Amino acid sequence: MKQLLVSGESFSKIDKKLGSSNYSYAFARQKMLRSIAINFKITFIQDPCFFNSNQSFSIVPDNTEIHVAFSSSSEFRLVKGMKNVIAFAWEFDVISDEDLYALNPFDNMKRMLTLADQIWATSNYTKTILEKCGLDNVVLIPAPIEAPKLNRESEKNITQLSKIVVSELKLNTWFDYRTYKLPISLNSTFFAENDKILNAIEKNSLYLTILNPHDKRKNLINLIAGFEAFSKENSNAVLMIKFVISSSSFNHEDFVIDNILPVYPDYFSVKSKSILFFFDYLDETQMSALYNVSTFYLCASISEGQNLPLLESMIHGCIPVTTAGTAMKDYINGDNSVLINVRRRKSLIRGLAGNMTSHEHFIEQARASDIFFALQHSIKLSTEQRSKKSSSAVETVHERYDVDKIAIDIDSSLSSL
């Protein structure tokens, strides 16, 4: 079997790193390794800088000729004497180059990516942007999506989620809860004992979204505002938000105070029994159960490098209610989704990675009203329409992101080096 050297963030202890910078590369690497392992024997290294293929004391097998790194461009490092590949995701219409107003050369994306012998782009959007910037060694290699761990009709779905504590989302950015020690007093219950959730599952009106609250791409405030307005007209609908963040030091009240309020300083208030959240780390079987009990997956993202949670929801039969820009153009369409309207405008949102390129760039953003109207459309789908969209979602992901298909693409791309 052919040999391959792999570096990048390890998936071990990922529950302690959720929400940290570039944590998503660990998830992508974990999924990609399942395709790589079909045709390659993998040797893992932590820091490529310490290895040289010509060193006799190296742990690297003698016939290893290729190194694949799962990292951002700024963290990409070469193994001397080997062909170096970077698996890379990017979701904005510009990259940083020699015009970057920064002293650190590692922040020059074009410079760093030029060092690679091959670039694996996770989407056609990323591939197109990089090629427009003069990089001609880019191939489309997205992370694969595996079949569900649990059947959608399995009675084990609720059981897998029974110990999760969910809370009603309640916050008001007018109040300085921390300084004045004001209590939020969230209403919390176990997932499997919450009547609103159980009713929403029965009525096919449970919506799921998974996101990092600090990630401005996710358009969180508009998502919440749109769903809150929608739920006032549709009492059976429930939005379950799984926040992706390390949960080791937070109770639910502290989480809202420390991770929601500071990120969104403008006036915003919500108190809804129909919007619930939790941030527990779930293993793959529990995640499968969470997707299975949800009828819809709500995504209002401004931009995405691939959007693994959305793809995973689709392979489980969830119907996306989503924007369809950047990477999502590869797999989102009117047959498998309910589309959210967006407006193209110059990016003025602080905290977006695209702003760090020193180039003017544009984004496509959904307003709360756009999300509201898409939700209204979704809840009115007939049983037959839901079934068709659900089946189409599963078929789309299976055809384009199957583990064996990606394995063939990887083998072909590396053989060309």
Cβ-based burial of 351 (10 A; exposed 0-12, middle 13-18, buried ≥19): exposed
**What local confidence, expressed as pLDDT, does residue 231 receive?**
96
d(CA 172, CA 260): 10
d(CA 144, CA 408): 11
**What local confidence, expressed as pLDDT, does residue 19 receive?**
44
**What local confidence, expressed as pLDDT, does residue 57 receive?**
45
**What local confidence, expressed as pLDDT, does residue 279 receive?**
87
Contacts of 37 (CB under 8 A, 6+ apart): none
In 142-262, which ranges are continuous DSSP H helix? Answer: 156-160, 177-180, 195-202, 220-233, 252-255
Q: State the fold for domain 156-401.
A: Rossmann fold (3.40.50)
Paired tokens of 97? 């180059």
Per-domain boundaries in the chain: 2-144+402-415, 156-401
Phi, psi torsion values for 336, nearest 5 degrees: -110, 0
Nearest to 311 by CA among 136, 107, 147: 147
- Residue by residue, pLDDT tens for the chain (417 residues) are 788 999 876 655 555 444 455 568 888 999 999 999 999 999 888 778 766 555 544 566 667 789 999 999 999 999 888 999 999 999 999 998 887 766 688 889 999 999 999 999 999 999 999 999 999 999 999 999 999 988 998 888 999 999 999 999 877 766 666 665 555 667 889 999 999 999 999 999 999 999 998 899 999 989 999 999 999 999 999 999 999 886 555 677 777 777 777 666 666 677 789 999 998 889 999 999 999 999 999 999 999 999 999 999 999 999 999 999 999 999 999 999 999 999 999 887 777 888 778 788 899 999 999 999 999 999 999 999 999 999 999 999 999 999 999 999 999 999 999
- Residue in the block written with tokens 């997707």: 291
User: How far is residue 112 CA from its own chain's centroid?
Assistant: 24
Read off the DSSP letter of residue 283.
-
**What local confidence, expressed as pLDDT, does residue 47 receive?**
78
**What local confidence, expressed as pLDDT, does residue 344 receive?**
93
Size (the chain), residues: 417
Paired tokens of 1? 């079997």
Nearest to 90 by CA among 104, 76, 105: 76
d(CA 259, CA 177): 12
CATH of 2-144+402-415, one of 3.90.220, 1.20.120, 3.40.50, 3.30.70: 3.40.50
**What local confidence, expressed as pLDDT, does residue 183 receive?**
58
Beta bridge partners of 80: 52
Answer for the pair 147, 310: CB distance below 8 angstroms, yes or no: no
Paired tokens of 271? 């108190």
Read off the DSSP letter of residue 215.
-
d(CA 403, CA 45): 23
